A and B are shown apart, each in its own frame.
Chain A
Amino acid sequence: MPKPLLSLLLALCGAWLVSAFSAHLDPYYLDVLIGVGINIVLAVSLNLIAGHTGQFSLGHAGFMAIGAYAATAVSLFLGPLLIGDFPTPGGLAESTLFFAALVAGGAAAAVAGLFVGIPSLRLRGDYLALVTLGFGEIIRVLLQNFELLGGALGLNGIPPYTTPFWVIAAAALTVFVVGCLVNSTYGLGFRAVRDDEIAAAAAGLNPSRYKVVAFTVGTFFAGIAGALFGHFKLTITPAGFDFTRSIEIVVIVILGGLGNTLGVILAAVLLTLLPEFLRPVAEYRLVLYAALLIAIMLLRPQGLFNFSVRRPAAPRV
């Protein structure tokens, strides 16, 4: 059996184990675990766009919002029609519904990602960052004005479907898909587009296609993360998916090292646990975060967990 597939199966077994014993574990640790898993999905999927393909996106929280709202619409509005008002908790009907909700969330976000991917064909660098930021904000404003989905107050009373099993499985699947994609022969194209778009085009690759694929796949998983988040927090508001949330995900990817999946996973774990440890000094947390970001860029721009040797950047004129 190929190694990545084996790892995926192992991770799924681990997920099943954790869920089997979840009744005996401290609920606080399970909550932290779910937070870590959701951040891994977000960071690894953004890493495909920003790290492997070099398309810096500041709108990841916007796609997360779309996923959360689409999935919630399925479980909150369609759910009672399909599986009745009182399904067995954790039963087959409920799991199927949640799976459908996750896929719906991912698909809705992927469609939005496709739309954002298309302008990215003409823009690069900080302009693209700004456009994705703009898209993220537009999504938020539209949701705030959409009364059917709760407007600015958001949606409440979402069923608590997110369990450690679903989160670990989603994280494992994200790492598996992104890993397989970038390590395949096809995936070399992502790196080629990142390193030198013009040279990639001259070598016969179609940079536009790679960018759109990266955006669509990356935002699909952002949507799934949003769906998991919604069914974990049980209440979602448009304001919860603002620019700051996007920045948090970007910080994880930068800290782990752009294009370094393992580093990004470690950074996601570290940055989700850090606030828990920093609770005594909670008011200084944001200052520390910001200082950390600047320090990393000045001292270790390749990321905290990137140990591979890197060519020094070409001097810029």
Chain B
Amino acid sequence: MTEFLQQLVNGLSLGAIYALLALGYTMVYGVLRFINFAHSDVFMVGAFAGLYLAPIVPSGSILGGILVVLGAMMVCALLGALIERFAYRPLRSAPTLNVLITAIGVSLLLQSAGQLSFGAAPRAFPAVFPARALSIGGLDFSSNQVVVLLVALILAVALRFVVFRTKMGSALRAVSQNPRAARLMGINNDVVIRFAFLLGSGLAGAGGVLYATNYPSIDPFMGVLPGLKAFIAAILGGIGSIPGAALGGLLLGLVETFVSGSEYSTYKDAIAFALLILFLIFRPAGILGKTRVEKV
């Protein structure tokens, strides 16, 4: 039982990071209907932004940690908006396939540029939050896991507020429901799309710092697998659905942690993809998504 609870805590803290990333995927998919492959590398840039910000804030304090997360979020939000402006906006009327390939190109560009500027070797991530080993009722976990869960929770609540309680949020939902009708209602689609990129990339930046806090070795290719898995999480939850992305992230984090703890741990990466394929074949709309009927 203790072991089960232990894995539950580990799974939730991994899942929270997947959820943060999945939210970015789902929002961009909502407004533009394509997989933003570069999202996983924005996540990587977030971790490196954290690495370079860490020395200039008070280290190992709550305030310093929050500053690092906020700084990484701003850097990534800016990067996301730039990517949208220069790579995706010129392709607004191009076939989906072209946008998808461009996204892959941007992803490769960020990886290789990261390799040039940060070096290919893994770097140690400093402790930005006060790290302490906690033990409650026989459960061992680090304070970092608690921090990850708390920050992810705060960001998810904040996102919910922005999307459902602000004017920009309703514009975002309107564009994702029907871009054309939204435009007829006087919504500037370009502004809304940029806003989605700012929000999603900011969350990815926070996710990058949190991931690096838990797994303190970062390199320019660190985003690839978490990124793919977060996208899988977004599909499991129902792509385009914000609560779905959070749910899918937590679910995938749990599944993966329990598989790692079992004798099949070497199959960990394959299981996420197997889940994806099963879902896409049998329930492409995901857990919380609505099934759409295709019309000519």
Contact = CB atoms under 8 A, between A and B. Distances in A.
Bind each other: yes
Contact of A293 (B92, B101, B231, B267): B101
B162 interface: no
Nearest to B92: A316
A258 B95 CA distance: 13
Contact of A126 (B94, B100, B107, B266): B100
A298 B102 contact: yes
B94 A294 contact: no
Interface stretch (A23-31, A129-137, A157-165, A265-273): A129-137
Classify the secondary structure of A's interface with B: helix
Given A297-B101, A298-B102, A317 B180 contact: yes
Interface string B261-296: 000001101100110110011001000000000001
B274 A129 contact: no
A216 to B, nearest CB: 18
B8 interface: no
Contact of A119 (B87, B235, B280): B280
Interface stretch (B64-72, B111-119, B137-145, B193-201): B111-119
Closest 6 CB pairs of A and B: A286-B112, A134-B273, A293-B105, A290-B109, A290-B108, A141-B270
Contacts of B224: 243
A198 interface: yes
B96 interface: yes
Chain A interface category by residue count: 35 or more
Given A294-B102, A297-B91, A287 B267 contact: no
A12 B46 CA distance: 53
Interface in A70-97: none
A119 B281 contact: yes
Given A131-B277, A134-B276, A287 B112 contact: yes
Given A127-B284, A131-B277, A134-B277, A286 B93 contact: no
Given A294-B87, A297-B102, A298-B102, A125 B93 contact: no
Interface string B212-252: 00000000000010001001100100000000000000000
Contacts of A122: 280-281, 284
Contacts of B296: 198
Given A135-B277, A290-B108, A141 B269 contact: yes
Contact of B97 (A125, A131, A290): A125
Nearest to B281: A119
B280 to A, nearest CB: 6
A302 to B, nearest CB: 10
Given A131-B280, A283-B116, A126 B101 contact: no
Interface in A265-317: 283-284, 286-287, 289-291, 293-294, 297-298, 301, 313, 315-317
A287 B109 contact: yes
A289 B101 CA distance: 13
B109 A133 contact: no
B98 interface: yes
Contacts of B92: 316
Query: Looking at B102, B104, B180, which has the most chain A CB atoms within 10 Å of its CB?
Result: B104
B21 to A, nearest CB: 15
B106 interface: yes
Interface of B: 34-35, 87, 90-98, 100-102, 104-109, 111-113, 115-116, 179-180, 224, 228, 231-232, 235, 266-267, 269-270, 273-274, 276-277, 280-281, 284, 296
Nearest to A144: B266
B266 A145 contact: yes
A123 interface: yes
A289 B108 contact: yes
Query: Looking at B87, B112, B296, which has the most chain A CB atoms within 10 Å of its CB?
Result: B112
A150 to B, nearest CB: 14
A316 B107 CA distance: 24
B141 to A, nearest CB: 28
A115 to B, nearest CB: 10
Query: Looking at A119, A127, A137, A297, which has the most chain B CB atoms within 10 Å of its CB?
Result: A297
Contacts of A291: 105, 109
B115 A286 contact: yes
A298 B87 CA distance: 8
Nearest to A294: B105
A253 to B, nearest CB: 10
B91 A298 contact: yes
Contacts of A134: 232, 273-274, 276-277
Contacts of A293: 101-102, 104-105, 108
Given A122-B280, A134-B274, A294-B109, 5 more contacts: A138-B277, A247-B104, A293-B102, A298-B87, A317-B179
B281 A287 contact: no
Contacts of B274: 134, 138
A138 B278 CA distance: 13
Interface string A106-135: 000000000000010011011101110111
A180 interface: no
